[in-house]
Amino acid sequence: MKYTISHPTKNIKGSISLTSSKSESNRALIIQALCSEKFEIKNLATAQDTITLNQILNNQELPSDKQQFFDVGAAGTSMRFLTAYFATKNGTHILTGSERMKHRPIGILVDALRELGAEIEYLEQEGFPPLKIIGKHLRGGEVEIDGNVSSQFVSALLLIAPEFQNGLVIKFKGEVTSRPYINMTLKMMEEFRVYGQWHENSISVSKQNYHRKSEADYAYQVEADWSSASYWYAIAAVSEHADLTIHGLNHKSLQGDSIVANLFSFFGIKTEFIADGIRITKNRIKDEHFGFDFSDCPDIAQTIAVVVSALNIPSLFNGLNTLRIKETDRIEAMKVELKKIGTEVEILNGNSVKINSQTINCEVSVNISTYEDHRMAMAFSALAMKLNSISIEDPEVVKKSYPNFWQDLKNIGFEVIEVE
């Protein structure tokens, strides 16, 4: 199945009630499972990753003297967070996922957990799921990992730090990438009275316990998702005219991808913070070279690549090393799909690409492959504001993070037609 997407006017106006943050929701669920005091999570994400994690945490039997089997499907965050979580819970847990998940490396996290006292076995290929995790009380201590690994490995360790007998010290080798995601984890832990501290290139968390706030009606409120907002910024940037209100976003956000509010000013998008969200409008575009290091916000790299290609802005992207181990090899996928509109993506090394775009023939239609990657589907949808139409293969992949994406497009005037 595929969707053919077009927009008759290339102008957008209206409002969107944005999906909740998957990143915040998943961290909140792990904290909720580890906290001895009950609390409600409001505005929990409807993303498939979050649904999967919530179901597994609710269906676990702890403590258990029998082996339990859990399948996370394509949910990468769930695989990483649950690997750490189950390492601290008595019982034997088999953790597996989709075929693609079985090719996404997890050895860095497993090695770190083993150093901290965990008992984990690989059931198939060394360094990859599925895993057999024999949970127990962990001694904790000090562990050293590369700073350029996925921040989800680091967050997985930090979230279970209160379970360690001797606390946790993470020392980073080299520069730390995706630091805002790590800081989000630390801030959310602080909300529940567990405090971590940066020391130059390390983080320490002493032995503590999660506690909810004392207010009788306390509930954790999840913010809307800035990563999902990036697709609307892209659509606005490529449009002829844009005036769009997006509800649920905060000025002081925990999310690293909130940088889009500043970043998209380069592409002519003005952001105004209002009472319950933001208003974005289209202004003049700067028609010059663009360069940016995405180390702190790799999830928006594909989206920006589509924008600079549509606007014919030569660009240099750095900080892309983690994109190789996502739902697909996003660097290679980006290169292949952008070539369909005449953009040449030159891979300089594992961390950088040069984008050489050219004027697009707006009368053409192209077919975009999504590689089982939700961000490919949504990022490339912005091209419908430039081309006659585009076709998106396997459009249901958006369920992973933004299930209502296609309906939201329709609400803003896009024509979305299902094609067999």
| Residue 203 near residue 145 (C-beta atoms within 8 A) | no
| Residue 290 near residue 332 (C-beta atoms within 8 A) | no
Active-site annotation holder among 296, 299, 373, 394: 299
Closest to 347 (Cα-Cα) out of 301, 384, 299: 301
Structure tokens at 419: 């094609």
Residues 6+ apart with CB under 8 A from 55: none
**Dihedral angle, C-alpha 136, 103, 332, 339, nearest 10 °:** -120
Q: What is the pLDDT of residues 273-324, one digit of tens each?
A: 999 999 999 987 766 899 999 988 988 999 999 999 999 999 999 988 877 7
Count helices and strands in the chain by DSSP H and E runs: 12, 22
Pairing of strands 141-146, 131-135: unpaired
pLDDT of residue 327: 65
Closest to 243 (Cα-Cα) out of 18, 415, 416, 412: 412
105, 221, 302, 354 from 373: Cα distances, Å: 17, 28, 11, 22
**What kind of architecture, by CATH, is found in domain 2-19+225-419?**
Alpha-beta prism (3.65)
Gap between the Cα atoms of 397 and 406, Å rounded: 11
Which residues in the chain are classed under CATH 3.65.10.10?
2-19+225-419, 22-221
Q: How far is CA 321 from the centre of its chain?
A: 15
pLDDT of residue 147: 84
CA atoms in the 13 A half-sphere facing the CB of 295:
13
Gap between the Cα atoms of 211 and 32, Å rounded: 10
Residue 195: other Cβ atoms inside 10 A: 11
22-221 CATH, one of 3.30.420.40, 2.40.30.10, 3.10.180.10, 3.65.10.10? 3.65.10.10
Backbone φ, ψ for residue 247 (5° rounding): -90, 150
Task: Establish whether 146 is a catalytic residue.
Answer: no
Q: What is the pLDDT along the chain (420 residues), one digit of tens a residue?
A: 899 999 999 999 999 999 999 999 999 999 999 998 999 999 999 999 999 999 999 998 766 677 999 999 988 899 999 999 999 999 999 999 999 899 999 999 999 999 999 999 999 999 999 999 999 999 999 999 988 888 899 999 999 999 999 999 999 998 888 788 999 999 999 999 999 999 988 999 999 999 999 888 899 999 999 999 999 999 999 999 999 999 999 999 999 999 999 999 999 999 999 999 999 999 877 668 999 999 889 889 999 999 999 999 999 999 888 777 666 788 888 889 999 998 999 988 878 999 987 777 777 789 999 988 899 999 999 999 999 999 999 999 999 899 999 999 999 999 999 987
Backbone φ, ψ for residue 347 (5° rounding): -80, 110
